[in-house]
Amino acid sequence: MQNNNKDIWEQALENIEKQVSRANFNTWFKDTFIVKISDGIVQVGVPNSFVRDWLNNKFYKDTLKALRDISEEVRSIEFIVSKNDKNKKVVSQIKIGPTNQLPLSDYYINKEDNLNPRYTFDNFVIGPFNELAHAASQAVIRQPGIIYNPLFIYGNTGNGKTHLLQAVGNTIKTLYPEKKVFYLTSEKFTIEYISSVQSNKVNLFKDKYRKYDVLIMDDIQFLSGKDRTQEELFHLFNTLYDNNKQIIFSSDKHPNFISGLEERLKSRFNQGMMVDISPPDHESRVAILKVKAEKNNIRLDKEIYDYVAKSVDGNIREIEGALNSIICQTQLKGKNLSFNEIRDLVKNSSKPKKLVSVNELIKIISDFFNVEEASICDKTRKKEVVRPRQIIMYIMREDFNISYPTIGEKLGGRDHTTVIHSCEKIKNDLKIDNTLSQQLNQIRSML
């Protein structure tokens, strides 16, 4: 490792910041630095013994991984209490017990399959919001390439799609050692394909992806508008499918609603099992919080779990972020926080709710259905415009509790009876039209 210690640590901190929450990063990695590197052992200076013990117990693996991503020469870390005095050549040190040795093969992402060993079913919380996706995944594991091929999982960001996909990959790898499993994002696939074209190595690219028995591709929505990459994926899909190789995809929305995605790809995606992961219900949010807390050896009162689950109006990542703030402050103070302290902490760590204007609502839904914004307020009765207009009226009434006359006024001066009819029309259609229900879920997630 030829770089100086400061540069190495700054690069490592950039990697660590991507793996932990902002609250944890700011609390535990502030005022840390590399004291020295010798024989693959990195000594990291920390301001006090409490931070030393916490980093050693909770973030040792993340820190070691960040350093090993810079250099594979790194074998282990020692956290030591040390003052970062640039004017002294020798710093005072308090060395902790024996060096922690990490079984690297059990933790680090294997470059041969890109799977993260931390994503397993052991720490995956199952609830009504994801039980169908979980059941479909288990069916795929039992008979890869035979049942539900392809498996397509979609839903809002931050609600566990990547965890589920990688848990499937890790389980198949364990149960069927002979099968070659590979996980990647659609962005990575695109970059590799473009690079292969530029370097005249397309055949190598094709051979690489056709050798896998299980291909898992995350975030399909980023293929939107990338025609040549979509064509390559289409041919790869056909080859894998025809040879009973399991294919698993994910996206933040149903593929039918991804603009710029070729119809032939949508058709291929729809020929397997299509299942969504919806936002978690209250009970599931509480269960997720309990699992996360117990993993950190923290026990909180039931009313605390209930309060956080109700107050943090976001995805699973944001719920866990709020809990991390509580855990950090509890450890720093050395005692349980009062309810008022937790309330203030959650309030400060939660992102403010976004207010949506009528114009924003019209723009979002117009873009979703690919119609002109201006046509929504026009007197036109074209079918492709009427449906989006009715949905806008329905959402304004159901989600924002706007009065019928006001809705009519905002949408081109329509009579309130027209608005009532439109809302009732959508409400009745939802009982029998699954596609409409999926469209509303997607629109609401965008809001």
Q: Note the Cα 43 to chain centre separation in Å.
A: 33
- β-pair partners for 184: 217
pLDDT value of position 205: 94
Instruction: Enter the tokens of residue 127.
Output: 């609830």
DSSP assignments along 65-131, one per residue: HHHHHH-TT--EEEEEE----TT-SS---EE-SSPP---GGGTSPPTTT---TT--STTPPP-TTTH
Cβ neighbours, 10 Å, residue 5: 17
Report how far residue 322's alpha carbon sits from residue 438's, in angstroms, rounded to the nearest whole number.
Answer: 29
pLDDT value of position 97: 35
CA-closest candidate to residue 134, choices 102, 103, 106, 171? 171
Q: Tell me if 165 sits within 8 A of 248, measured CB to CB.
A: yes
Report how far residue 363's alpha carbon sits from residue 431's, in angstroms, rounded to the nearest whole number.
Answer: 26
Residues sharing a CB contact under 8 Å with residue 280, sequence separation 6 or more, in sequence order: 127, 129, 130, 159, 288, 316
Report how far residue 17's alpha carbon sits from residue 86's, in angstroms, rounded to the nearest whole number.
Answer: 25
Q: Tell me if 256 sits within 8 A of 266, measured CB to CB.
A: yes
**If phi over 0 gives left and psi between -120 and 50 gives alpha, with beta otherwise, what is residue 196?**
alpha
CA-closest candidate to residue 340, choices 321, 350, 326, 356? 326
pLDDT value of position 233: 95
Residues sharing a CB contact under 8 Å with residue 300, sequence separation 6 or more, in sequence order: 289, 293, 326, 336
Per DSSP, the three-state class of 146 is coil
| Exposure of 439 in the CB half-sphere (CA atoms within 13 A) | 21
Report how far residue 229's alpha carbon sits from residue 191's, in angstroms, rounded to the nearest whole number.
Answer: 9
Buried b (16+ CB within 10 A) or exposed e, 386-413: ebbbbbbbbbbbeeeebebeebbebbee
DSSP assignments along 375-433, one per residue: HHHSS---HHHHHHHHHHHHHHHHTT---HHHHHHHTTS--HHHHHHHHHHHHHHTTT-
**If phi over 0 gives left and psi between -120 and 50 gives alpha, with beta otherwise, what is residue 179?**
beta
CA-closest candidate to residue 120, choices 328, 299, 295, 312? 295
Report how far residue 387's alpha carbon sits from residue 406's, in angstroms, rounded to the nearest whole number.
Answer: 19
Residue whose entry in the numeric block shows the structure tokens 């009532």: 420
pLDDT value of position 4: 76
- β-pair partners for 152: 249, 274
Q: How far is CA 92 from CA 48, 80, 81, in A?
A: 12, 9, 8
Report how far residue 395's alpha carbon sits from residue 278's, in angstroms, rounded to the nearest whole number.
Answer: 18
* Share in percent of the chain as helix, strand, coil (round to 5): 55, 10, 35
- List average pLDDT for each run of 10 residues in the chain, which is 447 residues long: 73 85 80 86 86 83 87 85 56 34 52 86 86 93 92 88 93 93 93 93 94 94 92 95 95 87 92 88 85 75 82 75 77 71 69 68 87 86 88 87 85 87 90 82 74
Q: How far is CA 115 from CA 21, 62, 118, 168, 267, in A?
A: 21, 16, 9, 10, 28
Query: Residue 29 has what DSSP assignment?
Result: S
Report how far residue 74's alpha carbon sits from residue 40's, in angstroms, rounded to the nearest whole number.
Answer: 4
- Antiparallel, parallel or unpaired: β 94-95 and 151-155: unpaired
Q: Note the Cα 83 to chain centre separation in Å.
A: 38
Q: How far is CA 192 from CA 112, 113, 183, 199, in A?
A: 15, 15, 14, 11
pLDDT value of position 38: 82
Report how far residue 377's alpha carbon sits from residue 379's, in angstroms, rounded to the nearest whole number.
Answer: 7
